[in-house]
Structures are given as C-alpha cells and as structure tokens.
Amino acid sequence: MRIIICGFGVVGQSLVKLFESRSDELYTKYGFKPRVVAVFDSKGSAVEDAGLNLKKLNDIKKQFGTVKNYSKSKNTMNGIDILKNVDADVLIETTASNYKDAEPGMSHITMAMKKGMHVVSVNKGPLALAFPSLMELAIYNQVMFKFSGTVGGGTPILDYAKNSLKGERITSFSGILNGTTNYILTNMGTGVSYKDALKDAQTKGYVEADESLDLDGLDAAAKLVILANWIMGMKVTMPDIDCTGIRKVTSEDIKKASKKNCAIKLIASCDEKLTVSPKEISKDDPLCVNGTLNAIAFTSEHSGTQTIIGKGAGGIETASSILRDLLDIRQEIGKN
C-alpha cells in the first residue's frame, strides 16, 4: 500500500515508528505492507517512489526539524504539489486542526479524494467544518474516509458506538472529550488555582499552541460534531454547537460542587441540543474520570447507558488509531 503522509509531527513520526517496529507482524498477520512514498511537513518534503527509508526519515526529522533534508536536493514541495505529482493509494492527513477554514487539511483531503485516494485523517478541522460534504465527496469518488483517531485518540470511541452497539439505537450521549481541560479541572479539585493548573498543564505539554482550542471548548466541540454526524446521522458543523469553555470556572465553583459530592467537568453532550459546557457531575458517576482521561457514555434504547474510558491523546495512541484505519482499508480492498 503506497502512502502519503501530510504533516510530520509527533503523530506522523510515531506512525512511522509503528510501521518500522511491526513490519513483519503486519505483513504475516494482515498482508499489510506499508510503503511511505512521500512525507510533507511545514518546511519541505521527502519523496521516493520505491518507498522512503523509515528509520532515516525519523532520524533526519529529529536532526534537522524537517524531512526536506532527506535527499541532497532538499525537496520543497508542499502537500498540494505532492498530491498532484505522486501516485499513492492512501493519504494520511495529520496537519494541525484549524477551525477557521480547515486549511491546509481540507485541500489535501479533497484533492486526494478527487484523485481516487482513500483518506485517513486525525485532523479534526475539515470534519468539524464540512463533515457532511466530505462524506458525500468520498462516496462520489468511491473512496474510503476514515477518522477514528479524531475522537479519543487511541481509544476506539467511534468504532465502539458504530460497531459494538450495532442494531441498537443510540438516543443520546455525553462525555469528557478533552483531556487538557479535564487535567486542569482535576487539579483545581485538589485546591490548585486555575492559573497554576493551566501553567502546570502547559509545562507538561498538554495545552495546544493556540490555548483557546482547549480552554474555550473548541476541541471538544469539534469532536462532538464528528460524533453527532457519524453516530446519530446528523448533518451538523461547528456553528451548530452551543459552546462554553472553562475560563470562568472558579475555585469557589469547584468547592461548592465538592460539597455536593460532585466535580466540575467540561461535558460535551448530544441530547435535545448539542452543547459543550462545564457541568457538575457526581463523583460516583462512571463519567467522572480524572487527569487527562476521556470518557463517554452512550445511552441506547434497549441496553441502557454504557461508558467507555481511555486515553484521549498521545502520539503513539493516535498513531495506533491510524494503523487500525489502514488495516480496515486493507481489508476492504481485499474483499473487493
């Protein structure tokens, strides 16, 4: 399988490490032999039709901060140039999520689909702003569009709701979909001020470069859009979400909630309305997880409420979700 990777940060590098360390197992167990033919990052690219040397690729990125030094010619092609000029079966889109216009991810995904390439995306921007039209484009071009890593990182939240609850009608769901805000609110629950809890989260690298994505609930809202469309069959985008972040949560609010045996969590919910806002949750509720964990509770017509808990982010966890999606694509291609 010939693969193009657009974006080569922590997730892209972790994926390449997975390919390298598990190559024999992937081939013997699944008949899957990934051949990365092009990689693009913000400063340049590396291209080789026969397949890039994965160890060298990661070493070059580590040494120079870009893959453009992979060859002596120092390739400066961007993602669009690569998609125009390099033949591949699958695009893996891992560039940063952008909730203003979803670029450059949106252009990468649409161009790949029009060229007949399957797409795996962990970039939430295009899905948050244009989920319905991207699904239509994939169907029209008869390609597969996978995005299990956009919600829950390595925790298979989307797969669980779609496959494990087959035959059930999910009537509502709610959950903690952003590990950063959960970490901050958990720390505030131990008496730490909002300012200090935020600083600690930033020091540990949990907060996005644009902190508003976490603190104003935009990341959680994007994930809510993806869940509502994929699981509930809605046709919604980011402007349909009533979104409030955690900036106004005070230590006093936390203490008041604690007296009622509750904790304040940033909850994304799909019930009669689509909302993201801080809410009081009973400490006995399975949804009330701490630290950077994510948790989501699905309520269905006959089997009641089921909660799935797991790590919401992390390079290797998200890379494992991409690998899952690639193996699904490999299986579907095999069937056809």
Of 148, 153, 113, 122, residue with least CA distance to 9: 122
- Give 10-residue mean pLDDT values along the chain (336 residues): 96 95 93 95 94 96 95 87 96 94 97 98 96 97 96 86 83 95 96 96 88 95 96 93 96 96 97 95 96 94 91 83 95 84
Instruction: Determine which one of 68, 146, 223, 265 is catalytic.
Output: 223
- The answer to whether 217 and 245 have CB atoms below 8 angstroms apart is yes
Q: Where do you find CATH 3.40.50.720 in the chain?
A: 2-154+315-335
For residues 160 and 190, give the distance between their C-alpha atoms in angstroms, rounded to a whole number.
33
Q: Where do you find CATH 3.30.360.10 in the chain?
A: 157-311
Of 92, 100, 205, residue with least CA distance to 149: 92
- The answer to whether 76 and 45 have CB atoms below 8 angstroms apart is yes
Pairing state between β 274-282 and 262-270: antiparallel
For residues 153 and 315, give the distance between their C-alpha atoms in angstroms, rounded to a whole number.
9
**2-154+315-335: CATH topology:** Rossmann fold (3.40.50)
What are the residues whose beta carbons fall under 8 Å from the beta carbon of 239, sequence distance 6 or more?
none
Q: Which residues pair with 294 in a beta bridge?
A: 310
pTM of the full structure: 0.91
311 is catalytic: no
For residues 291 and 280, give the distance between their C-alpha atoms in angstroms, rounded to a whole number.
16
Amino acid 175: pLDDT:
96
Q: What is the pLDDT of residues 25-75, one digit of tens each?
A: 999 999 999 999 999 999 999 999 999 999 999 999 999 999 999 998 788
For residues 29 and 17, give the distance between their C-alpha atoms in angstroms, rounded to a whole number.
18
CATH class as words, domain 157-311: alpha beta
Q: Which phi and psi (to 5°) does residue 310 adopt? A: -175, 180
